[in-house]
């Protein structure tokens, strides 16, 4: 190989390593120590989505994540979000559900938890996860809030796993049938 060919090959390898979306073998992020890395992995997952993003989340106030979802929807990605019905009324000014529900290609649904007869109250939809393009799954304890990605002790797991993604999507579709459209 000539010196020029080696240089080009090296530059291609460097470019690929810089644009690699993490998690081919699974990545576990422990927050707050790895907050920047976890947020970056989530944002890259959104940015690299081509077809669909399906999200279940309890609380969502992180504007940067919402703006990336809006941009994905603008590119033609179908974005669907299921959140807890009771959490919608908690902070309307900061909730990203209100912000995102008005855009094309974004569908937002409210899910009321199951009724708990003995306690005379409803449970909550407390899942925090997402599937990107039917293959990447992201889940953990972190809500999509500034506190979760900056102050709280949380975890976020990211992996490309078709079987796990399909299982999540199957549950997502079931929950969506039990949900009502938001707005």
3-state helix, strand, coil in the chain (%, to 5): 40, 25, 35
How confident is the model over 49-70, as a mean pLDDT? 97
* Reported confidence tier of residue 11, pLDDT bands at 50, 70, 90: very low
pLDDT computed for residue 129 by the predictor: 98
Please write the tens of the pLDDT for every residue from 130-157. Answer: 999 999 999 999 999 999 999 999 999 9
pLDDT computed for residue 121 by the predictor: 87
Instruction: Reply yes or no on whether the pLDDT at 56 is more than 60.
Output: yes
Please list, in sequence order, all residues whose beta carbon lies within 8 angstroms of the beta carbon of residue 29, skipping any fewer than 6 positions away: 35, 37, 38, 41, 140, 155, 156, 157, 158
Copy the structure tokens of residue 156. Answer: 């976020």
pLDDT computed for residue 3 by the predictor: 57
Instruction: Reply yes or no on whether the pLDDT at 7 is more than 50.
Output: yes
Please write the tens of the pLDDT for every residue from 80-133. Answer: 999 998 886 666 677 899 999 999 999 999 999 888 999 998 889 999 999 999
Beta carbons within 10 angstroms of residue 177's beta carbon: 9
Query: Residue 27's closest CA among 158, 143, 121, 115?
Result: 158
Instruction: Reply yes or no on whether the pLDDT at 161 is more than 80.
Output: yes
Distance CA 56, CA 126 (A): 8
pLDDT computed for residue 16 by the predictor: 44
Distance CA 142, CA 127 (A): 9
Report helix, strand or coil for 89.
helix
Instruction: Reply yes or no on whether the pLDDT at 79 is more than 70.
Output: yes
Copy the structure tokens of residue 20. Answer: 């690699």
List, in sequence order, every beta strand (DSSP E) within the chain: 27-31, 52-57, 78-84, 106-111, 115-116, 121-122, 129-132, 136-140, 154-160, 180-181
CATH code assigned to 23-181: 3.30.870.10
Q: Which residue has the higher pLDDT, 39 or 86?
A: 39
Please write the tens of the pLDDT for every residue from 19-31. Answer: 444 445 799 999 9
* Reported confidence tier of residue 183, pLDDT bands at 50, 70, 90: confident
pLDDT computed for residue 92 by the predictor: 67
Rounded to the nearest integer, the mean pLDDT of the chain is 88
């Amino acid at each position: 190989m000539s010196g020029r060919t080696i240089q080009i090959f090296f530059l291609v390898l460097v470019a690929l390593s810089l644009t690699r979306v993490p998690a081919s073998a699974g990545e576990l992020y422990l927050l707050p120590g790895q907050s920047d890395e976890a947020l970056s992995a989530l944002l890259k997952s959104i940015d690299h989505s081509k077809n669909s993003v399906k999200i279940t989340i309890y609380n969502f106030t992180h504007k940067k994540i919402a703006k990336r979802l809006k941009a994905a929807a603008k590119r033609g990605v179908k974005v669907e979000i299921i959140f807890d019905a009771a959490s919608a009324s908690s902070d309307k000014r900061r909730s990203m559900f209100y912000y995102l529900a008005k855009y094309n290609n974004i569908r937002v649904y409210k899910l009321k938890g199951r009724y708990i007869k003995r306690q005379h109250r409803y449970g909550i939809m407390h899942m925090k996860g997402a599937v990107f393009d039917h293959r990447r799954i992201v889940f953990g304890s972190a809500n999509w809030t500034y506190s979760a990605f900056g102050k709280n002790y949380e975890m976020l797991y990211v992996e490309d796993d078709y079987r796990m993604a399909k299982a999540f999507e199957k549950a997502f579709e079931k929950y969506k049938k039990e949900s009502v459209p938001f707005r």
